[in-house]
């Protein structure tokens, strides 16, 4: 195509076919292709060879073109989705276009293992084909490990599938809030280790986001006008994208801050092609999760703002845990989660009802509880767990059943037993009082916690393990309510009264208890099911603050609700970080 001619697709993105990737995926699944009997290493080797031939920079730019087109299609489809699918149930291929986000992230990460010039330009469709076949290879392997009617089937297969397809269920600004709350107490240590503080990191992130966002606005529409499809771009589309997303270090410094602290920030969060190693599967730690800025020579590939926000929430953990401050850091790192949980709940409940960091005597030892809410005749015992899922668990069937069970027990199981210990101790008369953090003693009668709720708040997304699967693995009664802190913040924003929040939790707990497989069936007793808690919340709200009857998969139902809630939280100034 002559790059000087007028764009061939003036009415874009309507000409793009958003289901083409899904058709390609289905074609690969049928097995009538050259890769049908290839193993993981063969597919990966072919992918890397194609990237080397295509060139590292060209490949990285092509991934960005695909992302721009996907964003354009999603935005273009919002109105039609609202008309054709008002209940927000599972997205059809036409409404969820392109490669899965995590698969794109894996593709970018694996590209960083190379550092080559273009010798023979390749179509992005060829690269996408290898990525889709890699995903399908994992699916084929999973089918031989465990019977589908096993209660472990969903977490076993679901964890690795999450790593292959979806991003975490949290907003980018929530990730920034987590970073601020988690690392603010460690500012002095960060200064010594890295040469900048979390305040600096938040400021630089905001400055860069404010610059990157308008730079890309409208670019997706222009690129779409030069793109025959989501998987096949003209040279003009690649050139337009390259000009927009690659910038010099001088340009970044001029826009953000010409200071040693900003230089330290960039150096800590930068990765160069050819330097990443040991990243071989989609379930390994991606280089972008530690360093989202890609540098070649004196130019940087602008990261999508969401990538930077997610990296900030987690990457500095590794600096502190591997330093001389390791012991104290491990001991105190979970404080941010308890504090944020209490702040969320104070939006719904009276502050007089909320007791934080209380203690009591049990079996001759002093035990500390996280949060107790004494509201009318429905007390709530809340335990917070910041435990991360290990790599072996995130690998699902490739990490093994034992790893999944151990992580669920140490995360959800331990938190449940801590909450349940207070309930059973009070009802048995073994625990008669608690002491608050200000030294006040509160007496507890056996009847006080008779109808107590047990809520568990996690510090990271556990996906379907938290929304339903833990009940199939842990032998605990009554079933607790489990969510992560990011979901809890949205719940507190949408369910504004204690009565409504408690009603939602009661119904959600019943949703969890019925979602158990029966041999040869799929969720015979379930009503709604998703790996995202806010999908449940959206359906509950749309159905008049009740869950509808009948089985429904509700993937994607809560996306707009989450965005609206975060906008409201931002407008009210509830986030602790400031720009």
pLDDT digits (tens, 9 = 90+) for 344-369: 999 999 999 999 999 999 988 999 99
Q: How confident is the model at residue 469 (pLDDT cuts 50, 70, 90)?
A: confident
* pLDDT value for 569: 93
**pLDDT classification of 173: cutoffs 50, 70, 90:** confident
Between 192 and 215, the more confident residue is 192
pTM over 0.85: yes
Q: Is the pLDDT of residue 10 over 90?
A: no
Decide if pLDDT at 30 tops 60: yes
Query: What value does the mean pLDDT take over residues 81-88?
Result: 40
In the chain, the percentage of residues whose pLDDT exceeds 70 is 84
Query: In this predicted structure, which of 186-195, 386-395, 539-548 has the lowest mean pLDDT?
Result: 386-395
Q: Kindly report whether the peptide bond that precedes residue 478 is cis, defined as omega within 30 degrees of 0.
A: yes
Q: Is the pLDDT of residue 468 over 90?
A: no
Whole-number Å distance between alpha carbons of 567 and 562 = 9
Lowest mean pLDDT among 74-83, 210-219, 265-274: 74-83
Q: Which of 391 and 370 is assigned the larger pLDDT?
A: 370
User: Is pLDDT above 90 for 395?
Assistant: no
Q: Per-residue confidence at 88, pLDDT binned at 50, 70, 90? A: very low
String of DSSP letters for 116-181 = ---SS---HHHHHHHHHHHHHHHHHHHTTTS-TTSTTHHHHHHHHHHHHH---SS-HHHHHHHHHH
User: pLDDT tens digits, residue range 550-576?
Assistant: 656 677 788 889 999 999 999 998 888
Gap between the Cα atoms of 157 and 535, Å rounded = 21
- In this prediction, residue 519 carries a pLDDT of 42
Average pLDDT value for residue range 107-134: 93
DSSP H/E element including 426: helix 414-428
Q: 264-278, 325-339, 381-395: which has the minimum mean pLDDT?
A: 381-395
Tell the burial category of 62 from Cβ atoms under 10 Å away from its Cβ (0-12, 13-18, 19+).
buried
| Angle, CA of 427, 433 and 435, to the nearest 5° | 140
Helical packing angle, 498-514 and 533-542, nearest 10°: 120
- The interaxial angle of helices 187-194 and 305-321, nearest 10 deg, is 90
Question: If pLDDT is split at 50, 70 and 90, which confidence band does 38 have?
Answer: confident
């Amino acid at each position: 195509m002559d790059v000087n001619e007028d764009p061939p697709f003036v009415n874009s993105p309507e000409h793009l076919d958003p289901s083409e990737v899904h058709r390609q995926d289905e074609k690969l699944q049928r097995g009538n292709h050259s890769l049908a009997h290839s193993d993981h290493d063969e597919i990966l080797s072919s992918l890397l060879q194609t990237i080397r031939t295509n060139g590292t920079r060209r490949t990285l730019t092509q991934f960005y073109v695909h992302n721009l087109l996907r964003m354009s299609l999603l935005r273009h489809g919002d109105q039609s989705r609202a008309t054709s699918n008002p209940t927000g149930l599972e997205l059809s291929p036409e409404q969820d276009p392109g490669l899965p986000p995590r698969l794109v992230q894996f593709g970018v990460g694996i590209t960083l293992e190379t550092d080559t010039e273009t010798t023979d330009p390749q179509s992005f469709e060829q690269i996408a084909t290898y990525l889709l076949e890699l995903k399908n290879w994992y699916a084929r392997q999973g089918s031989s490990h465990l019977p589908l009617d096993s209660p472990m089937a969903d977490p076993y297969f679901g964890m690795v599938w999450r790593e292959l397809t979806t991003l975490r269920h949290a907003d980018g600004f929530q990730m920034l809030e987590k970073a601020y709350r988690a690392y603010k107490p460690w500012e002095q240590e960060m200064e010594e280790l890295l040469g900048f503080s979390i305040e600096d990191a938040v400021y630089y992130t905001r400055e860069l986001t404010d610059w990157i966002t308008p730079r890309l606005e409208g670019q997706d529409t222009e690129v779409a006008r030069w793109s025959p499809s989501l998987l096949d771009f003209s040279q003009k589309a690649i050139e337009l994208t390259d000009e927009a997303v690659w910038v010099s270090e001088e340009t970044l410094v001029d826009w953000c801050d010409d200071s040693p602290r900003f230089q330290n920030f960039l150096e800590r969060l930068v990765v160069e092609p050819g330097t990443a190693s040991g990243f071989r599967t989609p379930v390994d730690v991606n280089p972008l999760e530690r360093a989202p800025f890609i540098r070649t020579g004196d130019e940087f590939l602008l990261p999508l703002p969401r990538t930077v926000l997610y990296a900030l929430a987690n990457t500095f953990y590794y600096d502190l845990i591997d330093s001389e401050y390791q012991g104290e850091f491990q001991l105190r790192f979970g404080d941010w989660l308890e504090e944020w949980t209490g702040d969320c709940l104070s939006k719904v409940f009276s502050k007089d009802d909320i007791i934080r960091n209380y203690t009591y005597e049990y079996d001759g030892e002093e035990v500390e509880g996280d949060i107790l809410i004494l509201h009318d005749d429905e007390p709530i015992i809340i335990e917070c767990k910041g435990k991360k899922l290990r790599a072996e668990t995130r690998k699902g069937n490739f990490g093994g059943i034992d790893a999944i069970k151990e992580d669920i027990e140490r995360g959800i199981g331990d938190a449940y037993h801590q909450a349940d210990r207070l309930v059973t101790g009070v009802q048995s008369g073994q625990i008669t009082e608690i002491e608050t953090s200000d030294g006040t003693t509160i007496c507890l009668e056996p009847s006080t916690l008779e109808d107590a709720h047990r809520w568990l708040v996690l510090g990271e997304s556990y996906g379907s393990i938290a929304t339903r699967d833990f009940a199939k693995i842990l032998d605990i009664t009554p079933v607790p309510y489990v969510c992560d802190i990011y979901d809890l913040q949205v719940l507190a924003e949408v369910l504004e009264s204690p009565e409504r929040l408690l009603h939602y939790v009661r119904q959600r707990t019943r949703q969890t208890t019925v979602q158990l497989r029966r041999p040869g069936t799929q969720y015979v007793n379930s009503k709604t099911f998703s790996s995202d808690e806010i999908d449940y919340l959206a359906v509950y709200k749309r159905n008049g603050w009740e869950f509808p009857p009948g089985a429904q998969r509700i993937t994607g139902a809560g996306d707009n609700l989450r965005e609206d809630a975060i906008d409201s939280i931002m407008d009210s100034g509830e986030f602790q970080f400031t720009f």
